C-alpha cells in the first residue's frame, strides 16, 4: 500500500481514504484480506495504533470488517446501514460521540418539514451569517450555556471546528501568538499551522489554565489571543472554578487578548458557571455547538461575537464554507425551539453517568479524572508507562485510545496520559470489554 501525500490530514484517515478508493476502483474486491496491523505499520512506517485507527475508520464507513481469527477483510456489497461502523475486532475508545439514537426524532422532523411551505428558502442563497430565525435559535442555545447573546451578533457555522477556524482567520494575522492549554483540542494545531499562527502552551493544573502562567507568557511573548475550554477541558476534563475565570478574564483584559471560548462539552457536564467570554464580552468569541451534546452529524454551531467583529467573521465564514447548510440549521433550530434539544442532552447525560459509573467499577475511581456526566475520561499514566507506548500496546490488544501527543503543544513536558472515550461505542458491554483491557494494562 502506497499512501498519497497527506498534508495536514491525519495518517489514519489517509489509510481509510486509500481503502475507500481501492474498493471504488476495483483494486480491492469483496472478501479480500487486508494486511495485519503490524505488517501494514511496518510497510508504511507508522505506528500500529495509526493502522488500527485507519481500519476502524474504514469499518465505520462500511468498507471493511474485522473478525477474530480472520483478520480484517473487505465487506461484501450492500450489507446495509445496520452494519456501518461495526468492527468486531476493535473497541474504538479514541473518539468522543453521543449515544442517544436520533433516527426517530430526525425522521419525525423531516416529515414535518416536508409538509411545510418555504423549504426552498433553505436551499437557496441567503446571508452567510445565517437566517434570522436560525440566529434567534442560536441566542436560545447560547443561553443554555449561560451566555447572553443578541441575534445580530450571532453567526451560524458548520460546526464548532468551522467556528474556530473562522475566528482564528478573522481575528489574527500570520505570525501572531495565540495561547492554548498545554494539552488542547488536536485540530487547533493544523489550523494554526495553516494560518501561520504560533501556539504558546500554558501550564494547567486540575482547575485548568493557570492565570499567572498566562500573564507571564503575555509579558514574555506578546500574545494576541487565547483559545480555551474552561468548563470541560479537552482532554483533561479540568473544570475552571469561577474565581479563576475572573482571574483569567482580568489577564485577558490587561493584555487585550481575544478570547476564543470553545466549550463544546459544557452542556454535557455542568453549565452553571458563567462563560469566560461573559466576563470580558468585548474580547469574547463564544462557540455554542451541538455536535458533542446532540449528535456528531449535526454540524451546526452558533458563534457569538462582539458587535464590531461581526463583519470580519462573516467574511471569514464566506471564505471558508460560504455558509452553514440551511437544512441542518433548520433541524437544529426546530429542536432548540420545541425543547427536543435539551431532552436529547438530558438523555445523553443519563447514559454518560451510567458509563462513568462503569468506568469507576472497572478501572477504580482513583485511576482516572472525569466529570460525572462527561463523555470521556483522562487516565494519567502510572510509573513505567509512556502514553504513546500505552496507546500502541492497547491498539495491539484491540482497543483504541488517544494519547498525550495527540493533544500536546510544544515541548512543555505535558502530563503523560490517555483520553478514553466512554461514548464512542454503541453499548455498555463493548465499553466494558475495552475498559477491562485497559485495566489489565494498568496493573502491569
At 238-295, the pLDDT tens digits run 999 999 999 999 999 999 999 999 989 999 997 789 999 999 999 999 999 998 898 8
pLDDT band for 440, please (50, 70, 90 cuts): very high
Q: Residue 87: what pLDDT?
A: 52
Q: Give strand ranges (E) for 318-382.
A: 376-380
What are residue 389's phi and psi, to 5 degrees? -70, -40
Q: Give strand ranges (E) for 85-183.
A: 91-92, 154-157, 177-181
Average pLDDT over residues 298-317: 95
Q: Residue 2: what pLDDT?
A: 62
The region that residue 272 occupies, defined by phi over 0 for left and psi between -120 and 50 for alpha, beta otherwise, is: alpha
Which residues fall within 8 angstroms of residue 193, CB to CB, at 6 or more apart?
Answer: 8
Q: Residue 326: what pLDDT?
A: 87
Considering the chain, tell me which residue range(s) the CATH 3.40.640.10 domain(s) occupy.
119-339
CATH node for 119-339? 3.40.640.10
Q: Is 320 helix (H, G, I), strand (E, B) or coil?
A: helix
- Is the CB of residue 202 less than 8 Å from the CB of residue 179? yes
The set of cell numbers assigned to 213 is 502562567
Q: Tell which CATH classification among 1.10.10.10, 1.10.1330.10, 3.50.50.60, 3.90.1150.10 matches the domain 11-74.
A: 1.10.10.10
**111 pLDDT above the threshold of 90:** no
The dihedral over CA atoms of 372, 377, 383, 384, expressed in degrees to the nearest 10, equals 160
Beta strands 402-403; 204-205: pairing state = unpaired
Beta strands 376-380; 301-304: pairing state = unpaired
Integer Cα distance of 217 and 222 in angstroms: 7
Integer Cα distance of 408 and 414 in angstroms: 6
Q: Residue 83: what pLDDT?
A: 43
**427 pLDDT above the threshold of 80:** yes
Which residues fall within 8 angstroms of residue 40, CB to CB, at 6 or more apart?
Answer: 1, 15, 34, 51
Residue 63's alpha-carbon distances to 20, 31, 424, in angstroms, are: 7, 11, 19
Q: Residue 259: what pLDDT?
A: 98
Fold of 91-101+342-443: 3.90.1150
Considering the chain, tell me which residue range(s) the CATH 3.90.1150.10 domain(s) occupy.
91-101+342-443
Integer Cα distance of 45 and 314 in angstroms: 42
* Per-residue model confidence as pLDDT tens digits over 147-161: 999 999 999 999 999
Considering the chain, tell me which residue range(s) the CATH 1.10.10.10 domain(s) occupy.
11-74
Q: What percent of the chain has pLDDT over 70?
A: 93
pLDDT band for 82, please (50, 70, 90 cuts): very low
**188 pLDDT above the threshold of 90:** yes
Integer Cα distance of 223 and 217 in angstroms: 7
Beta strands 64-67; 301-304: pairing state = unpaired
Residue 241 burial (CB count, 10 A): 13
The region that residue 8 occupies, defined by phi over 0 for left and psi between -120 and 50 for alpha, beta otherwise, is: alpha
Integer Cα distance of 371 and 233 in angstroms: 11
Helix, strand, coil shares of the chain as percentages rounded to 5?
A: 45, 15, 40
- Is the CB of residue 224 less than 8 Å from the CB of residue 176? yes
Average confidence score pLDDT of the chain: 89
**88 pLDDT above the threshold of 60:** no
- Is the CB of residue 127 less than 8 Å from the CB of residue 407? no
Q: Give strand ranges (E) for 266-319.
A: 284-289, 301-304
**86 pLDDT above the threshold of 60:** no
DSSP structure string for 317-364: HHHHTSS--HHHHHHHHHHHHHSHHHHHHHHHHHHHHHHHHHHHHHH-
Amino acid at each position: 500500500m502506497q499512501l498519497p501525500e497527506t498534508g495536514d490530514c491525519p495518517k489514519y484517515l489517509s489509510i481509510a481514504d486509500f481503502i475507500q478508493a481501492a474498493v471504488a476502483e476495483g483494486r480491492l474486491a469483496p472478501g479480500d484480506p487486508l494486511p495485519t496491523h503490524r505488517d501494514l505499520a511496518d510497510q508504511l512506517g507508522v505506528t500500529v495504533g495509526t493502522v488500527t485507527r485507519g481500519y476502524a475508520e474504514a469499518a465505520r464507513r462500511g468498507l471493511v470488517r474485522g473478525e477474530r481469527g480472520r483478520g480484517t477483510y473487505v465487506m461484501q456489497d450492500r450489507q446495509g446501514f445496520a452494519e456501518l461502523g461495526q468492527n468486531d475486532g476493535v473497541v474504538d475508545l479514541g473518539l468522543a460521540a453521543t449515544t442517544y439514537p436520533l433516527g426517530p426524532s430526525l425522521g419525525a422532523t423531516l416529515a414535518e418539514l416536508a409538509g411545510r411551505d418555504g423549504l426552498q428558502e433553505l436551499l437557496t442563497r441567503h446571508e452567510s451569517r445565517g437566517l434570522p430565525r436560525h440566529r434567534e435559535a442560536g441566542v436560545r442555545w447560547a443561553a443554555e450555556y449561560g451566555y447572553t447573546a443578541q441575534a445580530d451578533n450571532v453567526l451560524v457555522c458548520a460546526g464548532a471546528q468551522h467556528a474556530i477556524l473562522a475566528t482564528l482567520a478573522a481575528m489574527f494575522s500570520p505570525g501572531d501568538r495565540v495561547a492554548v492549554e498545554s494539552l488542547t483540542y488536536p485540530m487547533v494545531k493544523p489550523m494554526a499551522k495553516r494560518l501561520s499562527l504560533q501556539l504558546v502552551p500554558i501550564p494547567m493544573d486540575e482547575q485548568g489554565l493557570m492565570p499567572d502562567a498566562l500573564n507571564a507568557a503575555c509579558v514574555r511573548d506578546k500574545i494576541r489571543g487565547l483559545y480555551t475550554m474552561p468548563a470541560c477541558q479537552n482532554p483533561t476534563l479540568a473544570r475552571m472554578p469561577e474565581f479563576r475565570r475572573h482571574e483569567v478574564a482580568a489577564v485577558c483584559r490587561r493584555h487585550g487578548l481575544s478570547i476564543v471560548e470553545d466549550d463544546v462539552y459544557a452542556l454535557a457536564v455542568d453549565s452553571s458557571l458563567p462563560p469566560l467570554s461573559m466576563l470580558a464580552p468585548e474580547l469574547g468569541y463564544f462557540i455554542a455547538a451541538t455536535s458533542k451534546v446532540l449528535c456528531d452529524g449535526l454540524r451546526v454551531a452558533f458563534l457569538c461575537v462582539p458587535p464590531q467583529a461581526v463583519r470580519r467573521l462573516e467574511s471569514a465564514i464566506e471564505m471558508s464554507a460560504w455558509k452553514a447548510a440551511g437544512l441542518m440549521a433548520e433541524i437544529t433550530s426546530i429542536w432548540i425551539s420545541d425543547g427536543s434539544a435539551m431532552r436529547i442532552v438530558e438523555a445523553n447525560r443519563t447514559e454518560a453517568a451510567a458509563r462513568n459509573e462503569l468506568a469507576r467499577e472497572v478501572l477504580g475511581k482513583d485511576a482516572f479524572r472525569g466529570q460525572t456526566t462527561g463523555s470521556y475520561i483522562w487516565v494519567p499514566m502510572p510509573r513505567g508507562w509512556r502514553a504513546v507506548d500505552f496507546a500502541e500496546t492497547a491498539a495491539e490488544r484491540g482497543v483504541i485510545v488517544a494519547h498525550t501527543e495527540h493533544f500536546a503543544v510544544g515541548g512543555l513536558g505535558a502530563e503523560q496520559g490517555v483520553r478514553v472515550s466512554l461514548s464512542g461505542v454503541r453499548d455498555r458491554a463493548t465499553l466494558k470489554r475495552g475498559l477491562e483491557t485497559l485495566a489489565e494494562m494498568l496493573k502491569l
